[in-house]
Amino acid sequence: MTATGLIIDGKAIAARLRADIAQQVIARMAAGARAPALAVVLVGEDPASQVYVKNKIEACRQAGITSIEHRRDTSLSEADLLDLVARLNADPAVDGILVQLPLPPQIDAQKVISAISPEKDVDGFHPVNAGRLATGLDGFVPCTPLGCLRLLEQTLGDISGAEALVIGRSNIVGRPMASLLIGASATVTVAHSRSRDLPELARRADILIAAVGRPEMVRGHWVKPGATVIDVGINRVARESGTGTRLVGDVCFTEAAEVAAHITPVPGGVGPMTIACLLENTLKAAAH
């Protein structure tokens, strides 16, 4: 049996946030401003990236945000991508710039991220925005951890004093997630591939955030009874039946749902919030 409120409905929470953003876009335009505009750069043919970009563009459309897609061949040179970023930085009709990751191997992703104007960096990956977040200053916050924080706020309200464990230390999720949780006055541990006794660390956590990219790594017996579990993983695995694939998170959902008080599903948990927070960041970039 699952208790009422067990499953954190990221899709519904994201839909409310998106409706709220759409209202703000309408109000902005009623006051005479143009629609917020997001430039989306997709290099190559990565199938997951193509789906993400398509979803981001459709979400922009529904919120009344203009999106300008720039698709480039996998063979694009680093210099040409840096050139495109420079043009978008200089374009007053562009509020936000998103370069979809991963990039092909001939391109240094960090160099490209650092070339984006921090004021248009709606992904929040630029070192200036990472530094702003780490020092508690206002800036752009990466969309996935921001979405996770919004889910925690909606589910738990005040999280000050809570023990939080973040599994994963990536620049996209783990590190900014830790900064956000510190900002919300949680007690934060960051675990990673070198951490000793991960199950024991996990069992102490009131808030458990898994962002490692390993299918169903977090087992039910790792979860503290009554904990809130946020599953950032999106892993495609073969179906047991042998036909096709399905998406699973970094958490073994059926086991963890027996123990947790609240848990995000995959899909329908964190994913929709990432997109909603991208719209929120784009609106913020336009308001600058």
Q: Which amino acids are annotated catalytic? A: 56, 100, 123
Q: How far apart are the C-alpha atoms of 251 and 248, rounded to whole Å?
A: 8
Tell me, by CB under 6 A, how many residues bind ligand GUN: 8
Q: Per CB under 6 A, does 216 bind ligand GUN?
A: no
User: Are 168 and 192 in contact, with CB atoms under 8 Å apart?
Assistant: yes
Indicate whether 144 belongs to the interface with ligand GUN (CB under 6 A). yes
Which one of residues 15, 22, 35, 101 is an interface residue with ligand GUN (CB under 6 A)? 101
Residue nearest to ligand GUN (CB): 101
Our finding on whether 129 is near ligand GUN (CB under 6 A) is: no
Q: Is 143 in the site for ligand GUN (CB under 6 A)?
A: yes
Tokens at 81, concatenated:
């991508």
Bin 64: left if φ > 0, else alpha if -120 < ψ < 50, else beta.
left
Name residues contacting ligand GUN, limited to 161-180 (CB under 6 A).
172
Task: Find out whether the peptide bond into 118 is cis, omega within 30 degrees of 0.
Answer: no
Give the nearer residue to ligand GUN in terms of CB position, either 176 or 265: 176
Q: Which of 17, 36, 103, 123 binds ligand GUN (CB under 6 A)?
A: 123
Which SS3 state, helix, strand or coil, does residue 34 take?
coil
Question: 3-class DSSP state for residue 233?
Answer: coil
- Interface with ligand GUN includes 98 (CB under 6 A)? yes
Closer to ligand GUN at the Cβ: 104 or 260? 104
Question: Sign of torsion, CA 69 74 77 78?
Answer: positive
> Whose Cβ is closer to ligand GUN: residue 234's or residue 260's?
234
Looking at residue 17, its amino acid is L
Please report whether residue 281 would count as binding ligand GUN according to CB under 6 A.
Answer: no
- Residue tagged 């160099």 (tokens): 111
> Which of 128, 124, 158 is closest to 277 using CA atoms?
124
109 scored as a contact of ligand GUN (CB under 6 A): no
Interface residues toward ligand GUN, by CB under 6 A: 98-101, 123, 143-144, 172
